[in-house]
Amino acid sequence: MVKPMNSTMAKEFCLLVLLTVLCVSLEDKVTVRRFRRGTRSFRNYCVDSQSAWVYNDGESWLRWKGQRAEYCRCTARRRESCHSVPVTTCYTQQCYNGGRCKEAVYSSDFLCQCPEGFSGPRCEINTMEKCIVGQGESYRGTWSVSRTGMECLNWNSTSLWGKKFTARRPDAATQGLGNHNYCRNPDGDARPWCYFYRGIEVVWEYCNLPSCPRGMNQKNLECVEGTGKNYRGTVGVTKGGTRCLPWDSPVLRNKAYNAWRLNTREVGLGSHNYCRNPSDDSSPWCYIYKGSQLTWEKCEIAKCEKKPTIITTLGPRAPSVINKGTCGQRTESSPSLVPQFRIFGGQQSDITAQPWQAALSVYRSRSKVYTFFCGGVLIDSCWVLSAAHCFNDGFHPKDLKVTLGRTYRLQNSSSEQIFEVEQYWVHEQYDNSTFDNDIVLLKLKSDIGMCAIYTPEVHPACLPEQNLVLPDWTECEISGYGKEQEFSPFYSDRVKRGHVRLWPQSQCVPERLSGHLTTPNMICAGDTRGLDDACKGDSGGPLVCPKEGRFTLIGLISWGDGCGKKDTPGVYTRVPQYINWINRKMQDNNN
C-alpha cells in the first residue's frame, strides 16, 4: 500500500514543480551579453584619467595635477581613487633625459618633472624623435602604428602575458618598454616593431619608421673627431670585442656616468649601449663586464677624414646644405577638402600647403608657460629665418622653442617637430627704428647633427640666388598664425595662407605707407583688392614665390601700415639681399 504524502511533503513537491516550470518558461528569454567583435574592454583595469596609462586592480601610482602631486590607487571597482601627497627631491635620481625626480614623503613612489619634449613616468619618451638611427634600438619616440597600419598594443596589456617582451620584464625600462604602445626594438631586430591584434590573435610586425637622413651635419655619426666628445654614433662594442652595457643598466646606478644624470642629453647618454665620451677622455668608451667584474673599456671607432680646403675663384654661393632637389615642394590636399581660413582675407590652408612655416615661442618665467610670438621659415634641417624685430627683447636661446609641422597653433599633432634653439644671430646692421635689415637666423639644437626630418608637413623653402629680382606683380604667398584683424586680441588658432603680388619698387614709397620710409633691403607686396595681407603675429613668416616649379623665399614678413588697407602694401625683408650673409653664418657655425 502506498502511503499518502503528508502536507509538508506535498508543499515541497508543488514548489519544486513550480520552479521547474518557471525555469523552462524563462529559457528563451535569457539574454547572453556579448561584446562587439574587435572591441577591447578595460574591465580588469583602471585607466588613469590624465595619462590614459593602464593599471591593474590594487596598483598605485603618483601623478601631477597642476603643481600638486597626487597618490592614486586602482580600487576593486576599477576606479582611480586619488588624494594629494607631499613630495621631496629623490635621494636617488630615477628620471631620464634630465628630468627632475620628486619622491612621495611617505612612500618609495616617485614622479619626474620632464623637460620640454619628453614625457612618460621617467621622462623616457622623446616626443621630438621622428626617425631611427641604425636599427632603432635606442628609438624612444611615439610612433604607434605597424607597417600595415594596425594600432599597436600597450606593452603593459594583459593580452601580452606569456610573451617574451612586455612592460613587466625586469629590464623593461632599459629596453624602452613601458605603459605605452609605441614601437620599440628590445631584441636587436632589424628595426622597431610592436604587437597588435589580427582577428583574435596577437601577432607582431615591424613599424614603418623612417631612417634619419645622413646630411652633411652628420659627419660625426659613425666616426670621431678629436676625442669624440660629440660622437653620437651607434658603435656598442669595445676594442676587445665586448658588448657594452646600456647606460641605464641598474648596475651603473651608483657610477659617475649613467642615463640618470641631469646633463644626459648634453653628453649623449641615454637608454642605449652606444660608446660615448662624457668624461672628455681620449676617446669614447663604455662600461662592460670582464668575468664578474664591472669595469670600462675604450671603443675602436674610425677617425673622421679631414676634408681638404677648396680654393675657388667663384663668388659666394647659396648654402650648399640646402637640398635643391626637394626644397620648395609641397603636397597639398584637394581644395574641396580643406576649409577656408584667413590670414587677413585668405585662402584654404593646412600645414602641408606651407610646410616651411615655423612657429616661434618663448618661455615666460612669470606664467611658467611658452607663448607664441612670431613666425619663421625653415630653410634647412637645422636652420630657420625670422624677423629681427621679433627679438628686440633679447631672448636667451635656452628660452626659445621652434615648432614645425603644426596646423593648429595650440594643438599637438603627430606630424609636429619641436626643437630648442642653440643660438641665433640678428643682422649686425639691423635698425630698430626703420626696420632696415630686419632678419635673424636661428640654429636649432640637436644631439645628432641633424634636426628637422622632411615630411609632407615639414619641408624647407628654397633660398633664392643672391640679388634675385622677380617681375613686378608676380603672385606670391604669405602664411602665418597671426591675427585676423588689426585690433583683434587673439592670434589665429590655425595656420593661414594669403595671396599677394610683388609691387614695383617705384610704388613702394612713403606716400603709400603713411610717410614711413623704405630702403633697398625691403620689398612691397600686397593684394590690390585689399583682401589678403599679413597682420600682427605673422612677422618673420614667409613670402614665397613660384620659380621654376618650386616655392622660393623672396621675403620675410616685416612691417606695414595696419592690416589689409586698400592700396597699401605690406613691407617685407628682401631675402635675396642676404644670401651671402646667410651662407657665411651657416658655414661659420655649422659644427
539 is catalytic: yes
Q: What is the DSSP letter of 100?
A: E
CB atoms within 10 A of CB 189: 14
Estimate to the nearest angstrom the gap between the alpha carbon of 575 and the chain centroid.
Answer: 28
Is the separation of the CB atoms in 296 and 283 below 8 Å?
no
Strands (E), 211-272: none
Query: Is 567 a known active-site residue?
Result: no
The active-site residue out of 350, 380, 436, 438 is 438
Q: Is 372 strand, coil or helix?
A: strand
Is residue 454 within 8 A of residue 512, CB to CB? The reply is no
Q: What is the largest CA-CA distance in the chain?
A: 133
CB 234 within 8 A of CB 301: no
CA 541 to each of CA 117, 326, 412, 555: distance values in angstroms, whole numbers, following the listed order: 24, 20, 20, 8
CA distance 290 to 288: 6
Distance CA 207, CA 190 (A): 10
Q: SS3 sequence, 400-445?
A: EEEEECCCECCCCCCCCEEEEEEEEEECCCCECCCCECCCEEEEEC
Write the burial class of residue 3 (CB in 10 Å: 0-12 exposed, 13-18 middle, 19+ buried).
exposed
Kindly report each contact of residues 565-569 with a partner whose C-beta sits within 8 Å and lies 24 or more positions away, as own/partner.
565/530, 565/533, 566/529, 566/530, 567/512, 567/528, 567/530, 568/512, 568/513, 568/526, 568/530, 569/500, 569/503, 569/507, 569/508, 569/512, 569/513, 569/524, 569/525, 569/526
Tell me which amino acid residue 362 is. V
Sign of CA dihedral 182, 174, 120, 158: positive
CA–CA distance from 329 to each of 411, 474, 544 (Å)? 25, 18, 11
Determine which one of 138, 271, 386, 539 is catalytic: 539
**Cell, residue 256:** 659617475
Give residue 388's Cα distance to chain centre.
26
CA distances from 45 to 79, 163, 202, 254 (A): 8, 19, 19, 35
Provide the residue type at 349 as one letter.
Answer: S
| 389, 427, 446, 527: the active-site residue | 389
Residue 272 is among the residues annotated as catalytic for this protein: no
| Calpha distance 558→229 (Å, rounded) | 41
What residues are labeled active site? 389, 438, 539
